[in-house]
Amino acid sequence: MAGTLHIYTGGMYSGKSTGLARSILRAQDAGLKTLVLKPHFDTRYSDTSISTHSKLQVEAMSVTEYPLPTEKIYDIVFLDEIQFFIEPYFHSDIVEICKAWRNLGTHIVAAGLDMDWQGNPFYTTAMLCAMAGEVTKLKAICSVCGDDASLTRKVTHSGPVIELGSTDIYQAVCHRHADFNAPQSSE
């Protein structure tokens, strides 16, 4: 039997990692054999845990690569910050790895941003969402007006596309306050 793929996605501060952490704890409480991975690049709150903005933490393996699985070892694999499972931060093809896990009957639950602060989709998230049997698109609260926010904007409207940060650099915003046409860096 093939495994399943469920993605939690949306903008920053929408509860993606919180949903993932709850799924991890539920699976572990049920006695399932789990693997929890996070990209080594993401060191915002912890090197060895998935950490939510509200400080909920779940132990995870920090990785820069992972071998293509050839046998079923885990019941469920959890991946946080899937948008960072790309070069130069991750040196394996996470999309192919997820396909292999599913073919082996392993279930996968992943969380990650769907778009960068310029409004462009993240490749890995887009690919995994396309493959997923279930996608949960979460919303935050717009930091400007309080409406539902499904986008992330950078406070400075400049700098590299991928830059680790939290409320010091990013805000959750609705479409009206996204500012995708603001001056942007070409970095």
Give dist(CA 20, CA 3) in Å, integer: 17
pLDDT at 53: 66
- Does 85 fall in a domain? yes
Which is it for the CA torsion 49, 33, 83, 129, positive or negative? Answer: negative
Domain region containing 56:
5-138
Residue 187 lies in a domain: no
Query: Does any domain span residue 159?
Result: no
Q: What is the CATH number of the domain that holds 29?
A: 3.40.50.300
Q: How far is CA 9 from CA 18, 116, 124, 125, in A?
A: 11, 12, 12, 8
| Confidence class for position 108, pLDDT limits 50, 70, 90 | very high
The reported pTM is: 0.90
Q: Is residue 154 scored above 70 in pLDDT?
A: yes
Mean pLDDT of 35-57: 80
Domain for residue 175, yes or no? no
Q: How many domains does the structure of the chain reveal?
A: 1
pLDDT at position 57 over 90:
no
Task: Specify if 179 maps to a domain.
Answer: no
Looking at 59, 81, 87, 187, which residue is catalytic? 81
Measuring CA to CA, which residue among 23, 29, 51, 54 is closest to residue 136? 23
Cα 62 from Cα 30, distance rounded (Å): 24
Residue 92 lies in a domain: yes
Give the pLDDT of residue 106: 98
Task: Identify whether 81 is a catalytic site residue.
Answer: yes
